Amino acid sequence: MKILDHKDSIIYHKDAINRRLYKRPIIVEMAIHRVFCLNQTVLTQILVQVIIF
């Protein structure tokens, strides 16, 4: 196990922050994509019901 000196620990913390910041946009992008797909599915079903009736 490597013992981190002060400079390494600062870089490690910055990397950890960057990893967290990088994950958030991906999670938001996935959520937007899922809502978009859900909207398309629901809207298609509603349109089919309206056309049938």
Mean predicted lDDT score pLDDT of the chain: 68
pLDDT band at 12 (very low <50, low <70, confident <90, very high): low
- pTM value is 0.37
pLDDT band at 24 (very low <50, low <70, confident <90, very high): low
The one-letter amino acid at 9: S
- Residues near 12 by beta carbon (within 8 Å), at least 6 away in sequence: 4
Q: Do 45 and 37 contact (CB within 8 A), yes or no?
A: no
pLDDT of residue 30 exceeding 70: yes
Residue 15's CB: how many other CB atoms inside 10 A?
Answer: 10
